């Protein structure tokens, strides 16, 4: 549909790339971007895929050493991509770490990671359904989720709950998650988001369910 109107399709794949097999050719997207820290790499490094024809047409967004073929007082010839988009000293350490993270995930296998996440999602969804005042958002089927569940607790602010849980060594995000209009459409305030990955276990989620219940009773 996007291409039918002559527009470019940009996919933010940060939440998908650590969990799902992605084929940019099948997606036929013009750009696909993702951050490294979502897939066990350090912060400050990521990937931007773009079609070659688009990269050839684009001008650099910043200037500096290493991104030109030649320069004079009245003319500049930029280097071919990707060099023309990488001015100055590159983030070498970040690139090495991102490559190591990708190798690590591929060695484990995304299919195995995905199966583990679905099992954790099923466990957490079943547990949250047993707690009064909790309203879960998103798909009901665990297989339709990546490794996270957002939920709202009636009558208790998400920041109070996250603070309580943090003191129990449970790290959850609290707020509007860059989607305040979506929250408003569901007539709710800030929500909590539990995220989990290959390093988490049912024991972690059991601790969350126990301490969430305690937190709700404490503030309720």
| Candidate list 26, 52, 178, 187, residue with the active-site label | 178
CA 60 to chain centre: 26
**Residue the block writes with tokens 């024991």:** 203
CA 21 to chain centre: 15
DSSP 59-114: PPSS--TTSEEEE-SS-EEEPPTTGGG--SS--HHHHHHHHHHHHHHHHH-HHHHH
Helix (H) or strand (E) holding 202: helix 202-219
Active site residue 178: yes
Q: Catalogue the active-site residues.
A: 178
């Amino acid at each position: 549909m996007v291409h039918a109107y002559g527009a470019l399709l940009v996919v933010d794949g940060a939440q998908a790339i650590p969990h799902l097999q992605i084929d940019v050719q099948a997606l036929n997207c013009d750009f696909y971007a993702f951050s490294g820290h979502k897939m066990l790499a350090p912060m400050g490094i990521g990937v931007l895929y773009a079609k070659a024809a688009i990269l050839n047409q684009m001008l650099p967004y910043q200037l500096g050493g290493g991104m030109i073929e030649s320069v004079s007082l009245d003319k500049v010839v930029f280097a071919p991509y990707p060099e023309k988009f990488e001015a100055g000293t590159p983030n070498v350490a970040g690139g090495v770490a991102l490559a190591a993270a990708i190798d690590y995930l591929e060695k484990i296998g995304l299919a195995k990671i995905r199966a583990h996440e679905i099992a954790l999602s099923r466990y957490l969804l079943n547990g949250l359904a047993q707690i009064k005042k909790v309203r879960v958002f998103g798909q009901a089927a665990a297989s339709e989720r990546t490794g996270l569940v957002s939920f709202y607790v009636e009558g208790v602010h998400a920041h109070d709950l996250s603070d309580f849980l943090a003191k129990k060594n449970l790290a959850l995000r609290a707020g509007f998650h860059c989607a305040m209009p979506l929250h408003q459409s569901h007539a709710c305030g800030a929500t909590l988001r539990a995220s989990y990955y290959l390093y988490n276990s049912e024991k972690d989620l059991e601790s969350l369910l126990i301490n969430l219940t305690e937190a709700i009773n404490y503030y309720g």
